């Protein structure tokens, strides 16, 4: 795990004074027990890594001064996961592990057999915070973006897309995958894809593939797909 690392959602420059509040403040003071005068790392999910000194710890806020800023150029690769919405506990695992594996975009798709159709603002915030925690833990400097697909017809066309297919005739992913800078993988929900959804994905250019000789759960399939692509 990287050194003490905290997230702020804005640009940072050397010499800036920044404030940590709510969850980041709690982690700094009550989990890591950081003291005034100590150095920590700050990221913003957009390729920036800053070092900062904790100047002042107040009741509900910590004031930090940025001493050094580095930036990392974005990767030329773009891996997108289109995940049919599963049960919330499985979705949280998918977001955490696929973020660690380098996914660039996570599109949550309301498929015909999805366990859940809508998310409250608090639930969306929780999913976003899971991704933030994952990049802090694994050392990534870029936060994956999220998108929401409410209708299968809105899944984009592709010339480098795949989907998990349980049909006996589906080829193994390892036999058709060639490393690419851009690729999309569609994973169905716990109950699988409908025939109509499968046909529509094929029409849009996606190739049905097996990820393993056994049928994988939706969260396992997403993790395996990202691991193989990245």
User: Is the Cβ–Cβ distance between 180 and 228 less than 8 Å?
Assistant: no
Q: Return d(Cα 98, Cα 42) in angstroms, integer.
A: 22
The full set of domains in the chain, from first to last, is 5-71 (2.40.240.20), 78-229 (3.40.1280.10)
pLDDT at 6: 96
pLDDT at 192: 93
Instruction: Give me the helices (H) in 105-172, please.
Output: 121-138
pLDDT at 184: 97
Closest by Cα among 105, 95, 108 to 74: 105
pLDDT, one tens digit per residue, over 185-214 is 999 999 999 999 999 999 999 999 999 999
Q: What value does the mean pLDDT take over residues 26-44?
A: 95
User: Model's pTM, two decimal places?
Assistant: 0.92
Closest by Cα among 134, 143, 73 to 106: 143
pLDDT, one tens digit per residue, over 136-181 is 999 999 999 999 999 999 999 998 999 999 999 999 999 999 888 8
Q: Inform me whether the pLDDT recorded for 49 exceeds 80.
A: yes
pLDDT at 4: 85
pLDDT at 116: 84
- The set of residues, in sequence order, having a beta carbon less than 8 Å from that of 190 and lying 6+ positions away, is 86, 87, 90, 113, 115, 217, 218
pLDDT, one tens digit per residue, over 80-108 is 999 999 999 999 999 999 999 999 999 99
Closest by Cα among 12, 25, 24 to 61: 25
């Amino acid at each position: 795990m990287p050194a003490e690392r905290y997230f702020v959602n804005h640009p940072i420059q050397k010499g800036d004074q920044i404030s940590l509040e709510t969850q980041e403040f709690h982690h700094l003071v009550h989990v890591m027990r950081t003291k005034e005068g100590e150095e920590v790392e700050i990221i913003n999910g957009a390729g920036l890594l800053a070092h900062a000194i904790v100047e002042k710890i107040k009741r509900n806020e910590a004031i930090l001064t940025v001493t050094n800023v580095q930036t990392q150029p974005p990767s030329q690769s773009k891996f997108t996961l289109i995940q049919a919405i599963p049960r919330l506990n499985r979705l949280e695992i998918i977001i955490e592990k696929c973020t660690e594996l380098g996914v660039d975009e996570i599109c949550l798709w309301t498929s015909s057999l999805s366990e859940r159709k809508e998310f409250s603002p608090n639930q969306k915030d929780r999913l976003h915070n899971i991704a933030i925690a994952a990049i802090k833990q694994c050392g990534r400097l870029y936060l994956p973006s999220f998108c929401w697909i409410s209708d299968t017809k809105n899944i984009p066309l592709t010339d480098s897309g795949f989907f998990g297919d349980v049909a006996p005739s589906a080829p193994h992913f390892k036999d058709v995958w060639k490393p690419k800078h851009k690729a999309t993988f569609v994973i169905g929900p716990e109950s699988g894809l409908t025939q109509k959804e499968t046909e529509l994905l094929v029409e849009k250019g996606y190739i049905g593939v097996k990820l393993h000789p056994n049928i994988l759960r939706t969260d396992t399939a997403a993790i395996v797909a990202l691991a193989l692509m990245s």
